Amino acid sequence: MARESGILLHISSLPSPYGIGTLGKEAYSFVDFLARAGQSYWQILPIGPTSVGDSPYQSASIYAGNPYFIDLDALLAQGLLEPSDFDDTHWGEPGRVDYGAMYYYRLPLLERAYNRGRSLRRDEFAAWRQANAWVEDYGLFMALKRKFGMLPFSQWPEKAARRDPEALTRYREELAQDIACYAFWQFLFYEQWESLHDYARSKGIRIIGDLPIYVTMDSVDVWMYPELFQLDKNGTPTAVAGCPPDGFNADGQLWGNPLYDWKKMERTRFAWWKERVRAAARNFDVIRIDHFRGLESYWAVPYGDETARNGQWVKGPGMKLVRAIRKACPDTDFIAEDLGFLTDDVLKLLHDSKLPGMKVIEFAFYEQDGAYLPHNAVENAICYTGTHDNQTLAQWVDEVEPEVLAFAKDYLGLNAEEGLVRGLIRGGMSTVCRVFVAQLQDWMEVGAEGRMNCPGELSTRNWSWRLRELPDDALADEIYAMTCRYGRLAQQAKETEEDA
């Protein structure tokens, strides 16, 4: 089986002069960097619109793209923006995404782009809108949020919240321009996304996208299909998602997402899920299924609890859903994010699904013969240095318990000449796992400031790290050399497949 490798970097973390990474020239330059470094994959986080808390795992829509990622320079080139439109805009501190600034400065710019674009690109927009029917409900949902002061839909007037047909007809007429504006932003996003995706493919780079297991309560998906979720007659969740207490968090994690009514989902043959995965398969070459263990059993926390302590495990759909997903997208590759509390039943689900799981180097050295140690790795797995929820490797080296680091040094032969971080990357690169993925922060040896997310904490530091500039060719060449040494070059993988 071919051995390959990739780099994890979210779009928001790319450098740009406008406060957040975009689908513009720096994204194309990063693809070039990946190709020069001999990589096969670019892994990103979910691409949906973010809201309160800024988490890409809490999006208002399973279909929509994040309008913050729209490249403004492209809009300037198309005549949808003018240089004077940028007067008095402020993007926050360098190296961080200021989501408040995105809301207050970027969205008005995009609205100006719509006001010009609805005539300049009228026919193209009309054709795209007709081909993407989902955008009408999304546009109405967002237009209603704007009308009602961005409150969650549970706090809207009852007829709007409960989707009264006559009320919705009236709102569609009243809010037609706002609906069109939100739809136009999606037109721009997907035009730019598809162009970037095509470019990545032309360079031999496949994109690994992330499919969050849950949707947020205040989403167009719950608003439209409340019957598919565990809600009471008033539309209030009866229980919400989270994960139990563990060695990292004594209270567990209270995510707060509404839980699915899996029995009703099954009666529809998982139609909602299958369409969701088909949409993701159009956007990505490989889909990482977030919180895969939640398909076997999920942690249900009573609604209103302030921590996840009082939750309980409840059986999920298991292989029934996995089979439905695989049947819907038979040509799509998947990764099972199988981290967390793994029981025999979860391990059986992973085995039966035949999906590759995840092995994380940062987790390897807490046990003398743990499952994450490189010698216990398996071929059908993706080895990571760490994920967006973990410390960077440089931070881990600085903060981990001395005895854990001592074990890692002894096990991998870590030394100052090579560098501890480089040695840890070597440990992952050399495993038998068919794919190895490192965060770009780890290749760059960025410390604590580069951590993407601290689970369970609400902080403006979460989801906000970004590059000031792309790494240089010297780093690409270094990555190439190690990738070549361990037989993971894209060309080596191609030759292996041809020989097979």
List residues with catalytic annotation. 290, 337, 389
Q: How far apart are CA 471 and CA 303, in angstroms?
A: 45
Q: How many beta carbons lie within 10 A of that of residue 337, not counting itself?
A: 21
User: Which residues are CB-contacts of 194 (< 8 A; sequence separation ≥ 6)?
Assistant: none
Query: Which residue has 């674009």 as its token pair?
Result: 117
Q: Helix 165-174 crosses helix 176-202 at what angle (to 10 degrees)?
A: 80
Euclidean distance between the first and the last CA atom of the chain, given in angstroms as a whole number: 8
Largest CA distance in the chain: 72
Cα distance between residue 180 and residue 172, in whole Å: 10
Distance CA 358, CA 373 (A): 12
Three-class SS state of 132 = coil
CB neighbourhood size of 192 (10 A): 20
Burial of 320 (0-12, 13-18, 19+ CB in 10 A): middle
Backbone angles phi, psi at 255, to 5 degrees: -80, -35
**H/E element holding 299?**
strand 297-302
Tokens of 310: 């009082």
Structure tokens at 348: 């059986």
> Which residues, in sequence order, are CB contacts of 151 under 8 Å at separation 6+?
145
Q: Which residue has 């039966």 as its token pair?
A: 352
Separation between Cα atoms, residue 460 and residue 439, nearest integer Å? 21
